[in-house]
Amino acid sequence: MTSRLVAKCADPTLADSAQRRQLIDRSDRPVANDSHVRDRPVSTCFERTHFTARGVWRGSVEIAPVAAFVVPFGIAFGVAASAKGISPGISLFMSVAIYAGASQFAVLDLWYAPLPLATLALTVLAVNARHVLLSAALASWVLQVPLGRRLAALLLLSDANFALAMSARSRGETDAGILFGSGLIMWLMWIASTAIGALAGSLLGDLSRFGFDAVMVAYFTAVIAGQWKGRTDLLPLIAAAAVAVTGTYILPPGWHIIAGALAGGVVGVWRNG
């Protein structure tokens, strides 16, 4: 395993030896008298990562402009949850504990008594399956920091702070704290904006009279359209939609979403894998 990790660390952006030395000098570890390090071949891992409070602070500052964009979605989630009759306390708890926008919206679609726990869990797993890819892409980075800090860095992983961390990494950033700091700000903004939406929703009463019941479909449609890569995506989309709609007639409540997700995944691999 170690040898594979080392090979993976051979980042082409660090090929320049002056840049490599600079990276090593910036790290907190003692690097004095390390002429042997400089003489190592380029294929060796020079991307030594660490996790410091300064990194956390840098991440927080850099994500701030991006984090502002999460506010409308947090408000929309709070409002949509309220329209489903969910109390502000519970929707706030969702944002604190789950902290994954699309899956939280998907949960609203299945939120009725008695709660279909297995269906809910599988749906959330399917929506958040892409986290596995983000997390995997960060593996060579975070596996080098101690376990506690590694967990902290991954705990608040989202699309936004992943993008920030990857771009920071490509310009030579070696502090995994940047991932945690940026995640922390995104998380706090998500919680605060959910609170605003949930309170507004509970004050306004029945939100469907304003048309806010369309928030979720409008948001999902926008996400789908945003990820659209052309005609190769058409068949997976049709498969998912057709299986899901058919499933509402023949499957137990909620399972049509999982059936649709699997159908879309399988057809996607078949056409593009």
Partner 1 sequence: MVDSIHAIGAVVVLAAVTLATRLGGVWIMSYVQITPRINAFLKYMSISVLISIVATTAWTAQPRIWLAVGTAALVMVATRSLVGAMLAGTALAALARTLGL
Binders of partner 1 among 89-128, rule CB under 8 A? 89-90, 93-94, 97-100, 102-103, 106-107, 109, 111-115, 117, 120-121, 123-128
Q: Between 64 and 218, whose beta carbon lies closer to partner 1? A: 218
Are 81 and 138 within 8 A, CB to CB? Answer: no
Q: Between 140 and 174, whose beta carbon lies closer to partner 1? A: 140
Taking CA 159 as the corner, what is the angle to CA 155 and CA 164, rounded to the nearest 5 degrees?
Answer: 90
Q: Pick from 136, 230, 231, 250: which binds partner 1 (CB under 8 A)?
A: 136
Q: Between 56 and 156, whose beta carbon lies closer to partner 1? A: 156
Q: Does 60 help bind partner 1 (rule: CB under 8 A)? A: no
Give the dihedral sign, CA 224/154/76/85: positive
Query: What are the residues facing 175 on neighbouring strands?
Result: 50
Q: Does 135 help bind partner 1 (rule: CB under 8 A)? A: yes
Name the H helices within the chain: 2-9, 17-26, 35-39, 53-67, 71-83, 88-97, 101-109, 117-127, 130-137, 139-142, 147-155, 159-170, 177-204, 215-227, 234-250, 255-272
Q: Between 40 and 253, whose beta carbon lies closer to partner 1? A: 253
Binding mask 239-268 for partner 1 (x = CB under 8 A): xxxxxxx-xx-------xx-xxxxxxxxxx
Q: Does 201 help bind partner 1 (rule: CB under 8 A)? A: no
Binding mask 68-87 for partner 1 (x = CB under 8 A): -x--xx--x--------xxx
What is the C-alpha separation between 266 and 1, in angstroms, rounded? 30
> How many residues bind to partner 1 according to rule CB under 8 A?
101
What is the C-alpha separation between 24 and 49, in angstroms, rounded? 10
Query: What six digits make up the tokens of 129?
Result: 């399956």
In the complex, least distance from residue 212 CB atom to partner 1, rounded to whole angstroms? 6
In the complex, least distance from residue 273 CB atom to partner 1, rounded to whole angstroms? 4
Size of the chain in residues: 273
- Among positions 1-30, residues that touch partner 1 (CB under 8 A) are 1
Q: Between 20 and 156, whose beta carbon lies closer to partner 1? A: 156
Are 212 and 205 within 8 A, CB to CB? Answer: no
